[in-house]
Amino acid sequence: MRAVLLAAAVALMSVPAWGQARPPAAIFTDPPADAAHPARMDVLHIPSGGGQLNAIAYVASGAGPHPAVVLFHGLPGNEKNLDLAQAMRRAGWTVVAPNYRGSWGSPGTFSFRGNLDDAKAVLAYVRTNAAKLGVDTRRIVVMGHSMGGWVTSQTGGGDPDVAGAVLISAADMGRDAAATDTRRLEIARENMEALAGVTAQSMAAEMKTLGPYSFAAAAAGLAKHPLLVLTSDDGLAPAANALVMDVKQRGGKVRVVHIATDHGYNSARIRLESEVLDWLAGLPK
């Protein structure tokens, strides 16, 4: 009887709070070793805007070609979600994580429009260097957190050849163009570390011009791709939900998950990884 109760307790402990039987295996299990094609990390220098962006590629083990994720960080990008990148690699996805111009050591001057150009340059680089990276160009997903979710919305909405898009607590920078001068300046001042060539005032002034680059402007393009939208208790969910409604009205296929945690998913990293891996696994092969 005691053994039965112990087994039941262990079974209950293995069930996450959101009801999933157990997290995907890639969260806690390394893939089989492949001596001929081991997992590796490549340091990349990606041409964009007259300079070269710093980036890393977590290349999946195995001969490939592998599906790939291009992972965009937020503003300024303190949380780069590299634990999520590692989990995706264990699941067989190669992940390319760039730093925008003027951020985290990438040369140049940071700018929001520059971020959008950098995203296009990274996609072009991955496609051009697909053989070197072992990437299946038919299966490239764009993904981003916070401002990186905005970059993802504009990039995925404007690129007919991506295989899908993932928005993680995405911030609609186009919508912020309509905020007050005080609010834009506050956003800039709170998110300036590791950004080169800008002031809070210059960032706020550029934010005022981003109206054409809103979620609403990206909806038609995003409706053509599978879309995963993850929201949290950070105040950004209403804008994301409005995008979801817009995409659905256009016939788009969207999965929406709200997780009761903060903007950085600090109390829900396993849940975040699980939701992303489950969605990736359901994409067409």
Which segments of 137-214 does DSSP mark as H helices, in order? 147-158, 173-176, 181-190, 200-207
pLDDT tens-digit profile, the chain (285 residues): 454 444 444 444 445 666 666 899 999 999 999 999 999 999 999 999 999 999 999 999 999 899 999 999 999 999 999 999 999 999 999 999 999 999 999 999 999 999 999 999 999 999 999 999 999 999 999 999 999 999 999 999 999 999 999 999 999 999 999 999 999 999 999 999 999 999 999 999 999 999 999 999 999 999 999 999 999 999 999 999 999 999 999 999 999 999 999 999 999 999 999 999 999 999 999
- What residues contact 5, with CB distance under 8 A and at least 6 apart? none
Residue with tokens 């950098």: 118
Contact 150, 216 (CB under 8 A): no
Strands 94-98 and 51-59, by their bridges, are antiparallel
| Cα angle value 127/277/33 (rounded, 5°) | 75
Domain positions in the chain are: 38-279
Q: Is the pTM of this model over 0.85?
A: yes
Does the domain formed by 38-279 have CATH 3.40.50.1820?
Answer: yes
